[in-house]
């Protein structure tokens, strides 16, 4: 078999948000021409993509497939536009499909999941407001449904890229490793300039995923891979992934320890912890802040540092000495 060295052409779309940029990648190798992730669904992003094609002498017709790392809308934005013009397979993690297809019963269950969770975490009215927002977003969800046919990625779907399950940031997250080329397409697992959030989510059956613990394991899995470069979903490319992963793992520990100190000083519910530690952000970035607190409480619980007790439907955390 002739061996084609991999060539990667990044598409970098700047944004003013803390993410810095939306990145996706045109990849040429023996699997043909692939697009890994597909940016946001905006005119600006579409124009950047078309400019990149022109700069490198490609057209849409050259593509053989689209590959997605996870279901977040800033990674799947251009899929339908591309497939409408050039019908190619779209490979996605198996666990992305019901989210990308906006499965009604799943999103209904997800609302009930968060209503119950925020109650348990003592969020009161702030939690109820968030649940109302989720209900309003159901319509919006329908509009975001991908129309393209989606194919689940299996271990042998690609000859040159190994898919590696890396849940945590999202339950479906995958990265793609080329051992011969020493490169990783990392999605949002690892970002150079900010730590990637591990967002609380239910699995398909409605059970809460221990997201920070999963994220930690996924980072370790990534550190075990040999690579000179990680092509990240936002910000700069990463040349020293093991060092950066070390830093991120310490960051998780540090954050968990800060929460532990608050618990030892007499704060016992996730909601009170969030308000004490994040103040205004508790209201403004409610779901993000609660994900941080709940995820790190799981971490402390798994490491035998805290235990929880449910009273009147609310979880109270206390430290184990």
In the complex, which residues of this chain contact Zn ion (CB under 5 A)? 72, 188
Find the shortest distance in angstroms from Cβ 197 to Zn ion. Answer: 8
Find the shortest distance in angstroms from Cβ 96 to Zn ion. Answer: 11
Find the shortest distance in angstroms from Cβ 230 to Zn ion. Answer: 15
* Closer residue to Zn ion (CB): 237 or 302: 237
* Closer residue to Zn ion (CB): 172 or 188: 188
Structure token digits, residue 191: 């970002």
Find the shortest distance in angstroms from Cβ 213 to Zn ion. Answer: 18
CB 33 within 8 A of CB 58: yes
> Residue 267's CB: how many other CB atoms inside 10 A?
18
* Closer residue to Zn ion (CB): 34 or 196: 196
* Closer residue to Zn ion (CB): 173 or 296: 173
Structure token digits, residue 145: 């449904």
CB 173 within 8 A of CB 189: yes
* Closer residue to Zn ion (CB): 122 or 171: 171
Which helix (H) or strand (E) is 294 found in, with range? helix 286-302
Q: Which residues are CB-contacts of 7 (< 8 A; sequence separation ≥ 6)?
A: 27, 28, 29
Cα four-point dihedral sign 248, 249, 252, 254: negative
Which residue's Cβ has the minimum distance to Zn ion?
72
Find the shortest distance in angstroms from Cβ 70 to Zn ion. Answer: 6
Whose CA is closest to 299, among 283, 317, 280, 286? 317
């Amino acid at each position: 078999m002739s061996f084609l060295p991999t060539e990667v052409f990044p598409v970098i779309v700047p944004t003013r948000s803390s993410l810095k940029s939306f990145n996706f990648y045109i990849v040429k190798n023996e699997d043909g021409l692939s697009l890994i992730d597909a940016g946001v669904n905006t005119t600006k992003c579409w124009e950047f993509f078309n400019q990149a094609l022109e700069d490198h002498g490609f057209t849409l017709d050259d593509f053989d497939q689209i590959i997605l790392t996870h279901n977040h809308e800033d990674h799947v934005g251009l899929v339908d536009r591309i497939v409408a013009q050039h019908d190619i397979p779209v490979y996605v993690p198996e666990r992305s499909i019901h989210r990308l297809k906006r499965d009604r019963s799943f999103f209904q269950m997800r609302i009930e999941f968060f209503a119950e969770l925020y109650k348990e975490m003592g969020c009161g009215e702030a939690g109820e407001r968030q649940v109302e927002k989720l209900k309003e977003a159901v319509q919006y969800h329908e509009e975001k449904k991908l129309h393209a046919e989606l194919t689940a990625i299996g271990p042998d779907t690609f000859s040159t890229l190994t898919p590696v399950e890396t849940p945590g940031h999202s339950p479906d997250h995958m990265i793609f490793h080329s051992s011969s080329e020493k490169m990783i397409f990392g999605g949002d697992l690892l970002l150079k300039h900010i730590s990637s959030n591990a967002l609380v989510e239910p699995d398909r059956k409605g059970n809460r995923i221990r997201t920070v613990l999963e994220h930690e394991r996924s980072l370790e899995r990534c550190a075990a891979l040999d690579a000179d470069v990680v092509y990240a979903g936002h910000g700069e490319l990463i040349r020293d992934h093991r060092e950066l992963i070390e830093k991120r793992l310490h960051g998780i520990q540090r954050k968990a320890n800060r929460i532990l100190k608050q618990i030892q000083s007499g704060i016992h519910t996730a909601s009170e912890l969030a308000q004490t530690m994040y103040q205004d952000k508790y209201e403004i970035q409610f779901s993000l802040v609660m994900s941080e607190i709940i995820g790190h409480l799981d971490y402390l619980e798994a490491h035998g540092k805290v235990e929880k007790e449910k009273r009147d439907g609310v979880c109270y955390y206390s430290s184990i000495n």
